[in-house]
A and B are shown apart, each in its own frame.
Chain A
Amino acid sequence: MEILILGQRLIFVLYIREDKTMPEYGLKVQNNKQEIQIDSLYKNYVNILSGSYSGAAGFQTYTFTPSKFAPVIAVRPKTYTSSGIALWSVTYSGGYYTGFVIGGGPTVGGTNAIAYDYKVFVLDPNSISTISGIRIRNKKMETVYDSGYKPLKIYNQESVTIPTVGMGQTTYTHNSYLNPFYILSPLHQGYIGFTTPVQGPLRIFICILMYASSTSVKLAWSIIFQGITNVADSWQTGTSAKIILCE
């Protein structure tokens, strides 16, 4: 069945396939790989907030309309090739996610400034969009898809090697995708302790995403805390992670 809807500002061309395996009533949309894009059961993540930062290294806290479900936050480091960023944490209060913290800084000896873009995606934007279009609701009358919001698109997901804590760096190249946003999961940390001659610095690092080019990004380390130790040691929370390219 083909449906052509001409709205004031939106045009939809739908082809709804008959699918006897569909578990519920309503609309089901697949992409050209037969992956489900929209159905009447599950909510799609949508973009509710975007922004940029350029300035001194450190932690920046952001807030968004409280959401009952964990948000998806994607970042895109830019400008600096010797400093980078990581999604440090989300803030949570009274059963709602309310914001997030991005932290970043230089690699050892790098530039003490950071620059990045971010996007926040949630499941419950709390209001339907105001423009014309299409909205799908589940049987609880909750909106699961609203064409007035941009959906979270996944371009690719791959495993990446986390470099050796300290000066280590690895490069992830994505020639097919230009300037995507990234999600790196999980967050990795590590430390290096020096004894020079008896006591020395203890440096705690976070693994950061660092701009390399429009088709590549680097994984590196930035110091977030320094102390003193009398034990020469190094350790990191892991050597692999997933990187997700998205928009």
Chain B
Amino acid sequence: MSYGLRVYDEKGEVILDISDRITRHIYTSAQTASSGNSGTLTELQGAREAVFSLPVNRPTSGTGWFWKLPHTVYRSGNAMYWTAQSYGNFDPWTAVNFCFIYT
């Protein structure tokens, strides 16, 4: 082992090694979703790599329980974008949080 960190648990099993890709949380932004919403995530411009971004549907009010908007975060060049699927019959009280997890 030339570099890195190796962590063992109480049973002696390795829970972190130099080959592991583990997550760090860089940025969270709450975006209110409505039909066809989209936007540029300016705080993340020029970021090296987003291993994954995780849109999380969460209610802000109301009781609607189905037709959750699918939110997508994508990268084009050095810019990060967010879009909500255009759709006319979704729960209007749903918002989204983005978890950008980088290496």
A231 at the interface (CB under 8 A from B): no
Q: Are A90 and B58 in contact (CB under 8 A)?
A: yes
Smallest CB gap from B28: residue in A:
A69
Given contacts A10-B8, A11-B8, A12-B6, contact A123 B25 (CB under 8 A): yes
A108 on interface, CB distance cutoff 8 Å: no
- Cβ–Cβ < 8 Å partners of B28 in chain A: 69-70
Q: How far is the CB of B103 from chain A (nearest CB, A)?
A: 4
Q: With contacts A15-B2, A187-B57 known, is A45 near B23, CB below 8 A?
A: yes
User: How far, in angstroms, from A238 to B51 measured CA to CA in the complex?
Assistant: 21
A52 within 8 A of B: no
Q: Which residues of chain A are within 8 angstroms of B69 by Cβ–Cβ distance?
A: 237
Question: How many whole Å from B2's CB to the nearest CB in chain A?
Answer: 7
Partner of A224, one of B2, B9, B66, B103: B66
Residues in chain A near residue B51, CB distance under 8 A: 154, 157
Q: List, in ascending order, chain B residues with CB within 8 A of A32's CB.
A: 3-4, 18-19
Q: Is the beta-carbon distance between A12 and B22 smaller than 8 angstroms?
A: no
Is the beta-carbon distance between A154 and B22 smaller than 8 angstroms? yes
Complex contact A13–B1 (CB within 8 A): yes
What are the residues of chain B within 8 A of A154 when measuring CB–CB?
21-23, 51-52, 101
* Tally of contact residues, B, Cβ under 8 A: 45
Interface size range of chain A in the complex: 35 or more
Say whether A212 faces chain B, with CB atoms less than 8 Å apart: no
Identify the closest chain A residue to B30 (Cβ): A70
Contacts of A204 in B (CB 8 A): 66-67
Nearest opposing residue in chain B for A124, CB measure: B25
Contact A36 B55, beta carbon cutoff 8 Å = no
Tally of A-B Cβ pairs under 8 angstroms: 149
Whether B19 lies near A185 (C-beta < 8 A) is no
Answer whether A153 and B99 are a contact pair too, CB < 8 Å, given A15-B2, A70-B56, A133-B7.
Answer: no
Asked whether A131 is an interface residue with its Cβ less than 8 Å from the other chain, the reply is: yes
A89 lies within 8 A of B57 (CB): yes
- The answer to whether B24 touches A42 (Cβ under 8 A) is yes
Chain A residues within 8 Å of B101, by CB: 45, 72, 154
Residue in contact with B4 in the complex, picked from A29, A151, A188, A189, CB distance below 8 Å? A29
B32 close to A (CB within 8 Å): no
Chain A's closest residue to B15 (CB) is A150
Task: Decide: B15 and A97 in contact? CB cutoff 8 A.
Answer: no
Question: Does any Cβ of B come within 8 Å of A44's Cβ?
Answer: yes
Within B16-68, the residues touching A (CB, 8 Å) are 16, 18-26, 28, 51-52, 54-60, 66-68
Instruction: Please list 15 pairs of residues, one from A and one from B, whose beta carbons are closer than 8 Å in the complex, sorted by A's number.
Output: A13-B6, A30-B3, A37-B20, A37-B103, A43-B25, A44-B24, A70-B28, A70-B97, A72-B101, A89-B59, A91-B58, A92-B58, A147-B7, A147-B16, A155-B21
Q: B residues near A, CB below 8 A?
A: 1-10, 15-16, 18-26, 28, 51-52, 54-60, 66-72, 85, 87, 97, 99, 101-103
Residues of A within 8 A of B (CB): 9-15, 17, 29-33, 35-39, 42-45, 69-72, 89-92, 97, 121, 123, 131, 133-134, 147, 150-155, 157, 183, 185-189, 204, 224-225, 237-238, 242, 244
